[in-house]
Amino acid sequence: MTTDAFQLYGTRAGEKSPVRLTAGKLTADLADGNLRSIRYDGTEVLRAISYLVRDRDWGTYSPDIADLKIEQGEDRFEVTYRARCQGPDETTLVIDVRISGNQDRLDFKAEAQSGTGFETNRCGFCILHPIVGVAGSPAAVEHVDGQIAATSFPDLIEPWQPFKDMRAITHQVMPGVTAECRMEGDIFEMEDQRNWSDASYKTYVRPLALPWPYQIPANQPARQKTSLLIRDISRSVAPSDPAQSGVIRLEIGVGTGAMPDIGVIVTPEEADETLAAGSLLSEIAPRELLFHFDPVAGHGLEALKNFAAIATLHPGRSTLEIALPCKWSPAVEAAEIARQMQIVGLRPDAILISPSVDRQSTPPGSKWPDCPPLEEVYAAARAAFPGIRIGGGMLSYFTELNRKRVPAGEIDFVSHCTNPIVHAADDLSVMQTLEALPFITRSVRAIYGDKPYRMGPSTIPMRQNPYGSRTMDNTAGGRIPMANRDPRHNGRFAEAFALGYAIRVLDAGLECLTLSALTGPFGLIAGPDEPVERGGRRPLFNTVRTLSALAGATWQECMSSSPSEVLSFVVRDAAGAKLYMVNLTGEERRVGGSALDREVQLAPFATVVLPLAD
């Protein structure tokens, strides 16, 4: 039976199916004019080669594509088209593209030209290397001066660009097979996109140390080219793909730990709706409420009063997340917030405090904004909130924490968020961000050791944009990066994504994981102006309620032969052992292996729980 697309994705607008391009052992998927999943002999060589144009807020244009022609032969292919970007003030940019491939070479050429001049933060190629099987492996980087450096892809996540002034990079795809990616037309550099939870290393044009936004002059063509050259001395047959057997195998592993507490965020804007839905909050029974407080946004005594009212309905713990303005001394500002809290009777179990300005990104080459020393901020919090745990980190993403590492000795716990639609918002890219989460948590542990560690709120919609002046409005309900609403939040996609997220961070030893609000665009129930019934439960409700009930139980790892498609884990408690499985794809999957006594069919984005015999 076919599942309604809205139930899966929160929208009936589907993504276009990619066109598979084939030249011997070389394959690539053409999607929206760019290349995805570039493989050789079945192994992923590059995650993508894309020609992208970004606006002054780092939003990505969706160009109109015309005159698309695809020629496909037995051992070659060729694609041509013209793309057009419509900018502000009637400005336009036109890009002529030619893509060609044969058995051991792929070329992607682009010529951009504007008759009006065109403002952009970036215009040119982005090349993505995968992370699984590549992180920590050797690479050779050729620089623009011709020198070649023997190096390796970063294992722990690099806060800054690992490679600059690049002309080419070469790595081993499999024994006997190497891939050289060569870039022409400008100076390229690489950033570690795992910072943003993207599952890739990104080589891009132009260097971030140069000013942005910048102007593409009128009537001056800009030409770029990316080439992929395969050298194969292996004489091997295509490697076996475990997914091709049709059954994904699950095997019980040895890793174990305690399930984290689950949190729910509450903002002042959603406080009234949260109070009205108090019975549902009790049904979910999260261990933690995370109250967001931002005086710069106008939050004050009324917000704290509402938080206190909600806290009386909640038998669990609470944390007040403070974006400290730092317009005056931290001591004065923290003391004023403490005074207001005393008036309304709000006493949370913890304070998570960070300078408001630290939510904004400081990219390479940028000037760090004025900010008091973090030691002063934390000391002010200790004085204003005696006897309460003080947490630090970032109210934005791991990127900002990695680039401005807070002093661990001054705080009781460290925290950060993630967001899966910073750079791309197609279904595949969003689910692939789950691959990056173990690298993020391992990098945090490398910095902060066994310091108590929290993550979230981490949702598909973006709550705050550290890289521009705003999040993107999404009234049409599309799949767009940096959007403050996302249609998939209303579908089973979000339910599967959240459980996959929880599984991917299990071995981080988190004390708390926050994946949603109760109401609003990030909520478990729908509000006004939503495409589902107001007050109706989104599928994500099920995942958060399930995870809340598992808090503190013992988990055991369960390894998947295809973790990009199916993830699983085992929970053991007084009631026995249960196997949790989640399908991360929009298609049915068959699951078997020693963890099961029979094969199981998983529906698209479905979660299945089975009892296990001890």
Show the tokens assigned to 105.
């070479």
| 96 sits in which H/E element | strand 92-102
Q: Rounded to an integer, what distance in angstroms lies between the CA atom of residue 172 and that of residue 231? A: 9
- Candidates 522, 517, 543; CA nearest to 461 is 522
This prediction's pTM: 0.94
pLDDT band at 306 (very low <50, low <70, confident <90, very high): very high
- What is the model's pLDDT at position 67? 97
- Non-local (6+) Cβ contacts of 346 within 8 A are 304, 305, 307, 308, 311, 320
- Residues 485, 233: contact at Cβ < 8 Å? no
Residue 246 has what DSSP assignment? S
Query: pLDDT digits over 391-401, tens only?
Result: 999 999 999 99
- What is the model's pLDDT at position 434? 98
pLDDT band at 366 (very low <50, low <70, confident <90, very high): confident
Please check the confidence at residue 362 and state whether its pLDDT lies above 90. Answer: no
Q: How many CA atoms lie within 13 A of 275 on its CB side?
A: 14
Q: What integer is the mean pLDDT of 456-482?
A: 92
- Label residue 368 exposed, middle or buried (CB < 10 Å: 0-12, 13-18, 19+): exposed
User: How many C-beta atoms surround the C-beta of residue 610 within 10 A?
Assistant: 16
- Non-local (6+) Cβ contacts of 16 within 8 A are 31, 32
Q: Which of 367-371, 489-493, 540-544 bottoms out in mean pLDDT, i.e. has the lowest?
A: 367-371
- What is the model's pLDDT at position 74? 84
Task: State whether residue 327 is helix, strand or coil.
Answer: coil
pLDDT band at 242 (very low <50, low <70, confident <90, very high): very low
Q: What integer is the mean pLDDT of 305-329?
A: 96
Please state, rounded to an integer, the average pLDDT across all residues of the chain. 94
- What is the model's pLDDT at position 589? 97
Q: How far is CA 8 from the centre of its chain?
A: 20
- What is the model's pLDDT at position 240? 44
| 608 sits in which H/E element | strand 607-612
Please check the confidence at residue 243 and state whether its pLDDT lies above 50. Answer: no
